[in-house]
């Protein structure tokens, strides 16, 4: 499958977005399509053996839009879009201001030249307005072109409403102009003055100009919703200082490859994910993780792309090229989430799909009803134009995607990566958070605090046994034991038949069957643990992890490991409780150790001595009572993360593309779980506000424009005020979403 990004020109509202999506989905070979109205772009997954980009672009063109691959960056595209809209707006205003003065001057008490006021000059008065209106129509002709084209295709959109409203005002004014010329030629000045109020040239010009004002403001606001992506892109360094044949050479950052050695000096940016192989440096990675304090990196430590060195000197080895780096994956995830749709957006899409035809019907019915009730043609036309112009499917269509884009972007700035809009919506209704213990509540870096051995085994022999077995494992406890044994110069022995059953390790070492693990593993193999039982219980009550060691079915020792609780874990649990969220800890450790950590952190409930399958079963059971979020280290907890409604990977800054997690937290801070859930709640609040505003605006505005309130309160609406209201509605929705940029952890 190929994946291609297109720029799409001509989309104005969610109806346009729907047309483009349907057109591309109907192309044979297309697997998936995501159209982003805010960025005027789409991402298409397709089978290159069946279709290609030209066929996809042609399908979009058949719907009246343009699609093509663009090499320009987001910033440049936004600037070009702003310039085009601003140019149309400025020139339109140059013609609108004199048009407005001539048409409305007498009504507001402004003096007009005599050439416009004398009876015999009334045709000149009308024709001058026509001449000033035509350039505005030409400048904004794309509304008519797109609107009528979609109308003919029976897929009307917002442009269709604007085109119908402006055309009705213009054509009716042409008709009145003809009458004025005829009446004046016959010296019927009273009749000419009588129809003069039927000129709507200023309404036509004002509608088009105000819509353009709204589009410019909306365009400026939309560009701010992509600020997070722009900032991420700007973090990427342009060059890298590498070693080539013993010399320092500056090369473009996108040319660096895995295995290359590059140099990090103060002020330099890391061009790719890498490992320090010589020296040390202090790096600021706040732009990626949200951490305000620089971190010192020494030999063996990993560096994230786009981190900035604030001190020291180091040689580093490239682990991933720029395109596969942490920064590149962050950008991809933010764009992916921004382009996806939340379930709540489907309601808006369904409404928008039938919105335009319903509005057109209301406009026709309103005009017909007022004619039947005895109103003149001018009033009926005015009413129809007002209904067409005030209706705004844009506000409804922008309500959800703007909030999603700003919310996911703000999350990325805080080191919280949300993979989809659906996840962001689901997270706001989480009622229980399940926490893995090791690496989540604790630091995940245990150390050996005590070793006990049986009398018939020497210390050197015991250390060699456990060193040989544990050296092969990547488990945090195994690493702690291995480091302890290396410090004491343990000797590696010959071994065979190595395996890692649940709860420990087994191996054949020096012809002895060695077994290292928890009490359950010993019991499953029929090994008596009474020799170290009391010590194990005492240490477990203090939060330590006791590991039994057996050889040929007999206990030979006990290893005590301790893992420090993360400083922020207690505060995070307290904040979750303040949010009304139930907390549960899941762990494979023994009950006493688990209870000790549970009590220290104030966690509500604890399940211990669990296998991975047990965790999944508990999650499935708890999902019956509400939405569940599972928090783990993103590697060992993959089944649990996938089983939960929301899987949250903590401290996965070096492996952010974890398939099983829905939300990835760049740093190892449990408080970011709270921030992620609070951000989700804030985003959903903004979405609901936007949908409420959009629905209320149309629910009140359309009846007002149709004249429903005229018999009761005497209220009616001029097309110019309708255009102004319509323009501001979308701007208000986008601006409300931008408030998320001020969300704080």
User: What interhelical angle do 393-413 and 227-235 show, nearest 10?
Assistant: 30
Tokens for 4, please give them.
């291609």
Cross-strand pairs, 68 = 7
Q: What's the CA gap between 524 and 519, in Å, rounded? A: 9
Parallel, antiparallel, or unpaired for β 605-607 and 582-586? parallel
10 Å CB burial of residue 300 (0-12, 13-18, 19+) is exposed
Q: What's the CA gap between 398 and 41, in Å, rounded? A: 15
User: What interhelical angle do 141-152 and 158-185 show, nearest 10?
Assistant: 110
Is residue 436 among the annotated active site residues? yes
Tokens for 445, please give them.
């870096």
**Active-site choice (273, 436, 589, 672):** 436
Tokens for 93, please give them.
């205003």
Q: What's the CA gap between 48 and 68, in Å, rounded? A: 16
Q: Which 8-state DSSP code applies to residue 501?
A: -
CA atoms within 13 A on the CB side of 511: 0
| Cα-Cα end-to-end distance for the chain | 39
10 Å CB burial of residue 430 (0-12, 13-18, 19+) is buried
Q: Are 525 and 504 in contact (CB under 8 A)?
A: no
Which residues are within 8 A (CB) of 203 and not within 5 positions of it... i.e. 6 or more apart?
A: 169, 385, 718, 719, 720
Helix (H) or strand (E) holding 123: helix 122-139
Q: Tokens 């000129």 label which residue?
A: 199
**Residue 470, SS3?**
helix
Known catalytic residues?
436
């Amino acid at each position: 499958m190929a994946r291609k990004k297109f720029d799409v020109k001509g989309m104005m509202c969610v109806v346009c977005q729907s047309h483009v999506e349907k057109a591309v989905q109907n192309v044979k070979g297309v697997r998936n399509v995501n159209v982003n109205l805010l960025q005027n772009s789409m991402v298409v997954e397709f089978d290159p053996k069946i279709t290609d980009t030209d066929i996809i672009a042609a399908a979009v063109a058949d719907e009246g839009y343009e699609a093509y691959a663009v090499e320009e960056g987001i910033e440049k595209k936004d600037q070009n879009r702003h310039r085009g809209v601003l140019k149309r707006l400025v020139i339109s205003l140059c013609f609108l201001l004199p048009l407005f003065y001539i048409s409305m001057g007498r009504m507001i008490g402004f003096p007009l030249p005599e050439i416009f006021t004398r009876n015999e000059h009334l045709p000149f008065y009308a024709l001058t307005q026509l001449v000033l209106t035509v350039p505005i129509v030409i400048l904004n002709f794309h509304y008519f072109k797109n609107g009528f084209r979609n109308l003919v295709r029976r897929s009307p959109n917002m442009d269709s409403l604007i085109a119908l409203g402006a055309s009705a005002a213009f054509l009716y004014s042409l008709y009145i102009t003809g009458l004025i010329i005829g009446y004046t030629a016959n010296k019927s000045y009273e009749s000419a003055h009588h129809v003069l109020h039927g000129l709507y040239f200023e309404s036509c010009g004002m509608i088009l100009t105000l819509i353009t004002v709204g589009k410019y403001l909306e365009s400026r606001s939309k560009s701010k919703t992509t600020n997070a992506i722009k900032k991420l892109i700007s973090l990427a360094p342009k060059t890298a200082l590498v070693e080539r044949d013993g010399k320092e050479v500056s090369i473009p950052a996108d040319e660096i490859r895995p295995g290359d050695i590059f140099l990090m000096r103060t002020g330099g940016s890391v061009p790719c994910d890498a490992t320090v192989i010589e020296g040390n440096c202090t790096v600021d990675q706040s732009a990626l993780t949200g951490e305000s304090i620089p971190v010192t990196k020494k030999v063996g430590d990993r560096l994230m792309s786009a981190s900035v060195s604030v001190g020291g000197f180091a040689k580093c080895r490239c682990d991933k090229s720029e395109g596969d780096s942490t920064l590149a994956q962050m950008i991809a995830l933010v764009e992916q989430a921004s382009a996806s749709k939340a379930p709540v957006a489907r309601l808006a899409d369904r409404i928008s799909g039938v919105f335009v035809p319903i509005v057109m019907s209301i406009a026709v019915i309103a005009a017909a009803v007022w004619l039947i009730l005895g109103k003149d043609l001018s009033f009926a036309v005015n009413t129809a134009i007002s209904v067409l112009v005030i209706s705004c499917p844009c506000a409804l269509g922008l309500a959800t995607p703007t909030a999603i884009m700003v919310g996911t972007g703000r999350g990325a700035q805080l080191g919280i990566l949300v993979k989809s809009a659906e996840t962001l919506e689901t997270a706001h209704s989480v009622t229980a958070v399940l926490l893995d213990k090791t690496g989540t509540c604790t630091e995940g870096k245990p150390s050996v605090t005590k070793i006990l051995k049986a009398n018939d085994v020497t210390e050197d022999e015991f250390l060699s046994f456990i060193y040989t077995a544990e050296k092969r494992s990547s488990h945090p406890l195994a690493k702690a034991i291995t480091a302890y044994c290396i410090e004491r110069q343990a000797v590696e022995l010959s071994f065979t038949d190595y395996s890692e059953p649940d709860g420990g390790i087994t191996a054949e070492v020096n012809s002895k069957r060695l077994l290292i693990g928890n009490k359950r593993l010993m019991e499953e193999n029929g090994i008596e643990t009474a020799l170290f039982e009391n010590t194990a219980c005492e240490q477990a009550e203090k939060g330590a992890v006791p590991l039994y060691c057996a050889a040929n079915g007999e206990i030979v020792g006990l290893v005590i490991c301790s893992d420090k609780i993360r400083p922020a874990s207690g505060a995070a649990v307290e904040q979750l409780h303040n949010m009304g969220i139930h907390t549960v800890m899941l762990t494979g450790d023994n009950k006493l150790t688990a209870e000790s950590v549970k009590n220290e952190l104030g966690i509500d409930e604890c399940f211990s001595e669990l296998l991975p399958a047990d965790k999944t079963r508990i999650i499935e059971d708890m999902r019956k009572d509400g939405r569940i979020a599972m928090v783990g280290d993103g590697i060992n907890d993959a089944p649990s993360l996938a089983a939960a409604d929301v899987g949250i990977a903590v401290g996965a800054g070096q492996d952010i593309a974890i398939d099983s997690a829905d939300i990835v937290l760049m740093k190892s801070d449990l408080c970011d779980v709270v921030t992620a859930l609070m951000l989700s709640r804030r985003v959903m609040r903004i979405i609901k506000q936007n949908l409420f505003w959009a629905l209320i605006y149309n629910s009140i505005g359309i009846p007002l424009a149709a004249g429903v309130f005229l018999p009761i309160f005497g209220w009616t609406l001029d097309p110019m005020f309708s255009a102004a209201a319509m323009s501001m509605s979308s701007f208000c929705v986008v601006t409300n979403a931008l408030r998320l940029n001020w969300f704080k952890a």
